[in-house]
């Protein structure tokens, strides 16, 4: 049974930070950090496959998307980390495990490097210290909806609601996604999200010394890779990069699923990942 979440705001470092909270008294706290182009509902597939039954979940909204007053684009890993640490102050006496997907996985490794004592373990989903050189092209091909024009808001929202495991849709979510769109005078809808800006952030990420961070992480670490093709007939985290990444971790373990960068969070692949997280953390 999936636990009920609450949608929360907390003032951290002068900003209004939005996060989801799945309370589960007495359980270990998992902090889930989503990818660059996602939002805090990105883990709905893992949650619906039982993740919230064994853990208390805290899921910060890294992008803002109109909810937080300080969106993720254009600011540093340090500021991300400082915001998340502020959000976690109420849990400071609890056992906290980081779980990060893609960009969130790299942010998790950064936080374990600079704030080692706060976290007990880390789970990295499809992120490596070496950026796949095809990532910018993959982003361009996978974010097709950002370049589309929709006849009206209903068409735009229907496209989103058809995605797997979108079981959280309500009026609040409609407002949430409205923060990403422009409505033209003729009623057509376009996304405000700037693909060039996303690629710029990806380029910035590739310059961070993640190999150093990975080598210095002392925590027990589980790296889960989706080895299925994502775009351009290649995985975001190819097998050789996954093996290289886990080889840098002092206490690293590698698990691969057949899903790709996106589908590994849904369906049968999500069930496998939840089982691996349970085995690793509990």
* 1 is a domain residue: no
Instruction: Say whether both 95 and 212 belong to one domain.
Output: yes
Q: What is the CATH number of the domain that holds 22?
A: 3.40.50.1820
Q: How many domains are there within the chain?
A: 2
Domain of residue 37, residue span: 6-135+197-281
Check residue 206 and give its pLDDT.
82
Instruction: Say whether both 48 and 172 belong to one domain.
Output: no
* 102 is a domain residue: yes
Instruction: Say whether both 129 and 244 belong to one domain.
Output: yes
Stated pTM of the model: 0.92
* 242 is a domain residue: yes
Instruction: Say whether both 32 and 108 belong to one domain.
Output: yes
How distant is the alpha carbon of residue 71 from its chain centre?
A: 14
What are the residue ranges in the chain where pLDDT is below 50?
none
Instruction: Say whether both 104 and 186 belong to one domain.
Output: no
Check residue 134 and give its pLDDT.
85
Check residue 94 and give its pLDDT.
92
Check residue 73 and give its pLDDT.
59
């Amino acid at each position: 049974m999936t636990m009920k979440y609450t949608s929360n705001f907390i003032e951290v470092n002068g900003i209004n930070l939005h996060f989801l909270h799945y309370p589960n008294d007495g359980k270990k706290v998992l902090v889930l950090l989503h990818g660059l182009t996602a939002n805090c509902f990105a883990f709905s597939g893992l949650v619906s496959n039982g993740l919230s039954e064994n853990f208390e979940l805290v899921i910060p909204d890294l992008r803002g998307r109109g909810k937080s007053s300080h969106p993720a684009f254009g600011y540093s890993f340090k500021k991300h980390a400082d915001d998340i640490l502020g959000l976690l102050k109420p849990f400071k006496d609890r056992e906290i495990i980081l779980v990060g997907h893609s960009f969130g996985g790299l942010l998790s490794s950064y936080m374990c490097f600079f704030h080692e004592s706060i976290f007990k373990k880390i789970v990295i989903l499809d992120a490596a210290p070496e950026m796949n050189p095809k990532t910018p092209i993959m982003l361009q091909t996978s974010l097709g909806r950002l370049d589309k024009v929709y006849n009206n808001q209903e068409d735009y929202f229907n496209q989103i609601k058809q995605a797997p495991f979108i079981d959280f849709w309500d009026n609040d979510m409609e407002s949430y996604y409205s923060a990403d769109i422009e409505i033209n005078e003729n009623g057509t809808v376009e996304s405000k999200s700037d693909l060039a800006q996303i690629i710029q952030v990806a380029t910035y990420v590739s310059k961070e010394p993640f190999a150093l961070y990975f080598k210095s992480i002392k925590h027990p670490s589980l790296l889960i890779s989706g080895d299925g093709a994502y775009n351009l007939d290649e995985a975001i985290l190819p097998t050789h990069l996954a093996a290289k990444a886990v080889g840098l971790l002092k206490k690293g373990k590698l698990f691969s699923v057949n899903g790709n960068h996106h589908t590994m969070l849904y369906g049968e692949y999500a069930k496998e990942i939840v089982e691996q997280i349970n085995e690793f953390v509990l």
